[in-house]
Structure 1
Amino acid sequence: MGSSENAVGGGRTVDKGVDFANYFCTYSFLYHQKEMLSDRVRMDAYFNAIFENKHHFNEKTVLDVGTGSGILALWSAQAGARKVYAVEATKMSEHARALVRANNLEHVVEVIEGSMEDVTLPEKVDVIISEWMGYFLLRESMFDSVICARDRWLKPTGVMYPSHARMWFAPVRTGIGDHKMCDYQSGTDDWYNFVDETKAYYGVDMSVLTKPFSDEQRKYYLQTSMWNHLHPHQVIGTAAIIKEIDCLTATVSDIEKVRSKFSLSITTENTKLCGFGGWFDVHFRGRGEDPAVHEIELTTAPSIDYGTHWGQQVFLLHPPIRVIEGDNLSVSFLMTRSKENHRLMEVELGCEVQLKSGNLLAPFKNKYYVE
């Protein structure tokens, strides 16, 4: 169980072998599993979704995609499942087996080590459960593996846990941008000193590398989205849904590119638009003809008391823009997978600000990296 324990990989992208190794090594450590298992919002949502909807599990077959520590598989068994196939791509599978034995459920739960794309099951399943969500929902691309599992192994009458997902976007204020700009400028100044000293002491002119160094620093400090725990008061306007996913019908092509145009309104009297915050929620609704008795929501929205390990992704503006209540933002959003690493995302964000007075500010367009 985790944000990406059983990712796409599976030998399918040989040229990304190093990335494949690093990716799975991260999720094979118990310290990482503990971080996710300590997320009470996450844990309570899955626990309540299973045990308040036992009719979906009782005497049913279940497939847990990316089982990690195995806790979703264990809960499924405790809810009455006849058989649970717990698929895990890393050596965390050994710990999952130990937990299954320790909880006397080895007659129900079968832990299978391997990528979901390569695994063969002896039967179709009634339920696919997975905690596949990455930062800003789609970072890490694990949903690809869930789609693969669904298309191969879910019965026509089967249900998905979770069943639906949504991505949200809202204007925010934060002081982080000033710190990032200071770091960027400090790094640039240090480079110029380095160039001068290298030429003076060693007779080599490094200035030809100034632009690529500056581009590298700009990407790192100013164009990479940031993980953050936003306070609800930092959200200064309305939030918009930029993507809705039905886990029962979504395809890989549906999520390879997320494109949306939407409007946001500033609801705070007099403040600075410092950037945008992105988060997600998922729902456990069952399916139309076999709905959940109790629908459960897991949200990663800004919260005072119920933050999650996912937090929010913040896309900073440099410089911030002064706005007032009643100003409107027309936003265009495009998120695609990075060509260098399909688990990371690139975002193109365009925005036009219409002031309450009716005047338009010059539109801007920025590129960000979700890493």
Structure 2
Amino acid sequence: MGSSSNAAAPINNVDKGVDYANYFCTYAFLYHQKEMLSDRVRMDSYYNAIFQNKHHFAGKAVLDVGTGSGILALWSAQAGARKVYAVEATKMAEHARKLVKTNGFEHVVEVIEGSMEDITLPEKVDVIISEWMGYFLLRESMFDSVICARDRWLNPDGVMYPSHARMWVAPIRSGLVDQKKIDYDRAMDDWSHFVNETKTFYGVDMGSLTKPFTDEQRKYYLQTSLWNNLHPNQVIGKPAVIKEIDCLTSSVNDLLSLQANISSIITAENTRFCGFGGWFDVHFRGRKENPAKNEIELTTAPSEDLGTHWGQQVFLFYPSTRVSQGDNMTMNFSMNRSKENHRLLEVEFDCELRQSSGKSLPSFSKKFYIE
């Protein structure tokens, strides 16, 4: 995931210095860039999207938002771009300049160090390319900066790479649900022991802090989503799209709060519902007036083959519920940006399960944090 700045700063009143310390600084390290550059699904998708659609790049002006190491800018130049503006908010820009020079494209690629919201280009561009996707697509809120770039610098007939995105959820089974509950119980047992010892040996009763400690541990162990590489056989119900994004027309306001009402039929026999898995895919389609010759998809869905560094987000429900093939699960899904940190997300599921026999089970709901 490349790095840029926050286009929604006026909405969230974000301090740039704090935002840099919490977010951008990570992308200034080569080890982090290497992790992304080693993701074959990510790399192959962007490579194929560019080189199988050279007509979008040949002789054109390109803007790479959050260029990172500069790889997308270099590929754009190799595909025949007339000019590439590679914008990077961190000192990684220095490494990108070195790569551009050693690969012989300093006459085409101009690396600009600065936030997307603050820099000025000498011209409008024909293509905006960016790898802006965070965990569960929208964590990090980097798409805000892509929207800012689009609204300021994209020609009216320009194209976005990627052009579309979708968010998915599906019911899953996972042994992690039991392990996280065990970890939570151990943390609470340890706290109880700590309170008793502190009072016995030091004469101070820490019991008044039990509730805030409990809330803290519950959030950490039971309400924070997990990064995981799910196997397809852990998906026990039909996946459903909760959000579709057209990168050419979506606004920041469209993404501040998401709501969806969906249903999923359980496809596995006699298993446990342990929660939901969430993932995304993006597509390189060009635009209606100027379509891609070869549409490319990048998916982070559970796979038996190569996973991605994004993996999937797992939202665990405890206790788990026994389900059977043919049961119908309906769900109200909501996702909002965290009030404390606009790059993090808060997710809530309200679910009802109707068994194939027609019997309805008690509804259940849970709030999660993507941190």
The TM-score with structure 2 as length reference comes to 0.98
> 2 CA distance for matches of 1:4 and 1:62?
16
Q: SS in structure 2 opposite 1:27?
A: helix
CA pair 14-246 structure 1, distance change in 2 beyond 3 A: closer
Give the AA of the match of 1:273: F
Q: Contact conserved, 1:4 with 1:140, CA < 8 A, in 2?
A: no
Question: What are the equivalent positions in structure 2 for 1:352-371 lying under 5 Å apart?
Answer: 352-371=352-371
Q: SS in structure 2 opposite 1:331?
A: strand
Question: What are the equivalent positions in structure 2 for 1:208-357 lying under 5 Å apart?
Answer: 208-357=208-357
> 2 CA distance for matches of 1:17 and 1:228?
31
Match of 1:192 in 2: 192
Q: SS in structure 2 opposite 1:222?
A: helix
> 2 CA distance for matches of 1:15 and 1:142?
16
Question: What are the equivalent positions in structure 2 for 1:31-70 lying under 5 Å apart?
Answer: 31-70=31-70
Partner residue of 1:6 out of 4, 22, 34: 4
CA pair 21-10 structure 1, distance change in 2 beyond 3 A: farther
Q: SS in structure 2 opposite 1:268?
A: coil
Match of 1:132 in 2: 132
Give the AA of the match of 1:103: N
CA pair 364-26 structure 1, distance change in 2 beyond 3 A: same
CA pair 254-149 structure 1, distance change in 2 beyond 3 A: same
> 2 CA distance for matches of 1:18 and 1:289?
42
Q: Could you list the per-position Cα deviations for residues 276-299 of structure 1 after superposition, in whole angstroms to 9, with x for gaps in the alignment?
A: 000000000000010000000000
CA pair 331-61 structure 1, distance change in 2 beyond 3 A: same
Q: Contact conserved, 2:8 with 2:144, CA < 8 A, in 1?
A: no
Give the AA of the match of 1:83: K
Q: Could you list the per-position Cα deviations for residues 309-367 of structure 1 after superposition, in whole angstroms to 9, with x for gaps in the alignment?
A: 00000000000000000000010100000000000000011100001111111101100
Give the AA of the match of 1:146: V
Q: Contact conserved, 1:170 with 1:238, CA < 8 A, in 2?
A: yes
> 1 CA distance for matches of 2:236 and 2:319?
17
Q: Contact conserved, 1:260 with 1:332, CA < 8 A, in 2?
A: yes
Give the AA of the match of 1:326: G
CA pair 90-326 structure 1, distance change in 2 beyond 3 A: same
Q: Contact conserved, 1:195 with 1:205, CA < 8 A, in 2?
A: yes
CA pair 15-114 structure 1, distance change in 2 beyond 3 A: closer
Q: SS in structure 1 opposite 2:212?
A: helix
Q: Contact conserved, 2:332 with 2:350, CA < 8 A, in 1?
A: yes
Give the C-alpha shift of residue 306 in structure 1: 2.1
Question: What are the equivalent positions in structure 2 for 1:15-34 lying under 5 Å apart?
Answer: 15=15, 17-34=17-34
Identity across the alignment (%) = 72
> 1 CA distance for matches of 2:101 and 2:17?
33
Q: Contact conserved, 1:7 with 1:140, CA < 8 A, in 2?
A: no
Q: Contact conserved, 1:10 with 1:117, CA < 8 A, in 2?
A: no
Gaps of 5+ in 2: none
Give the C-alpha shift of residue 258 in structure 1: 1.2
Q: SS in structure 1 opposite 2:301?
A: coil
> 2 CA distance for matches of 1:183 and 1:274?
16
> 2 CA distance for matches of 1:320 and 1:284?
38
Q: Contact conserved, 1:10 with 1:118, CA < 8 A, in 2?
A: no
Give the C-alpha shift of residue 24 in structure 1: 1.3
Q: Could you list the per-position Cα deviations for residues 7-26 of structure 1 after superposition, in whole angstroms to 9, with x for gaps in the alignment?
A: 31798645463342131111
CA pair 22-308 structure 1, distance change in 2 beyond 3 A: same
Q: Could you list the per-position Cα deviations for residues 141-172 of structure 1 after superposition, in whole angstroms to 9, with x for gaps in the alignment?
A: 00000000000000000000000000000000
Give the C-alpha shift of residue 200 in structure 1: 0.8
Q: Contact conserved, 2:7 with 2:148, CA < 8 A, in 1?
A: no
> 2 CA distance for matches of 1:272 and 1:29?
41
The TM-score with structure 1 as length reference comes to 0.98
> 2 CA distance for matches of 1:285 and 1:257?
26
Give the AA of the match of 1:322: R
> 2 CA distance for matches of 1:16 and 1:332?
35
Match of 1:149 in 2: 149
> 2 CA distance for matches of 1:171 and 1:349?
11
User: Structure 1 residue runs of 4+, over 6 Å off?
Assistant: 9-12
> 2 CA distance for matches of 1:22 and 1:164?
28
Q: Could you list the per-position Cα deviations for residues 17-42 of structure 1 after superposition, in whole angstroms to 9, with x for gaps in the alignment?
A: 33421311110000000000000000
Q: Contact conserved, 1:5 with 1:88, CA < 8 A, in 2?
A: yes
Q: SS in structure 1 opposite 2:223?
A: coil
Q: Contact conserved, 2:49 with 2:295, CA < 8 A, in 1?
A: yes
Give the C-alpha shift of residue 4 in structure 1: 4.0
Give the C-alpha shift of residue 238 in structure 1: 0.1
Give the C-alpha shift of residue 43 in structure 1: 0.2
Gaps of 5+ in 1: none
> 2 CA distance for matches of 1:130 and 1:16?
21
Q: SS in structure 1 opposite 2:149?
A: helix
Q: Contact conserved, 2:5 with 2:117, CA < 8 A, in 1?
A: no
Q: SS in structure 2 opposite 1:67?
A: coil
> 2 CA distance for matches of 1:177 and 1:98?
46
